[in-house]
Amino acid sequence: MAVDTNAPTAAAADYGTLAQKLTAFMATAKAVAADGLTWSEFGELLLALLRMVVTTLDKVQTLTGEEKKAVAMGAVASLFDLVADKAIPAAVYPLWIVIRPAVRSIVVALASGVIEKLLPMVRA
């Protein structure tokens, strides 16, 4: 059964502050991932989160670019911590325990590059 990766974005749309949006997004992402998740679906959730965070943070004038990026990277790490385990088959879970920190670092580093590519699209 496919996961509705649009549900977290839709849930977050009703809120004004980034904290409220993140809370709604994460709660819904956790709910949709409860029965399992593919890595493709995780990627869709990750991109949706980044679009939402970058769009919201781009309007904030009180933070520097580096502070905004740190907030976005924290959101990515939180999403990973919340749902990435749902994308792992039970048979390889013992290996996952060992490689999880490295995979998390790679996902966060990749998201950093994606943020740089999203900024021009958000501002256009």
Q: Are 54 and 119 spatial neighbours (Cβ–Cβ below 8 Å)? A: yes
> For residue 94, is it within any domain?
yes
> For residue 2, is it within any domain?
no
Roughly what angle, to the nearest 10 degrees, separates helices 18-32 and 65-83?
20
> Residues 30-57: what's their mean pLDDT?
90
Closest CA to 22 of 100, 62, 99, 76: 76
- pLDDT tens digits, 70-99: 999 999 999 999 999 999 999 999 999 999
pTM tops 0.95: no
Q: Which domain holds residue 76?
A: 7-123
Q: Per-residue confidence at 118, pLDDT binned at 50, 70, 90?
A: confident
> For residue 1, is it within any domain?
no
Q: Are 36 and 2 spatial neighbours (Cβ–Cβ below 8 Å)? A: no
What is the number of domains present in the chain? 1
3-state helix, strand, coil in the chain (%, to 5): 80, 0, 20
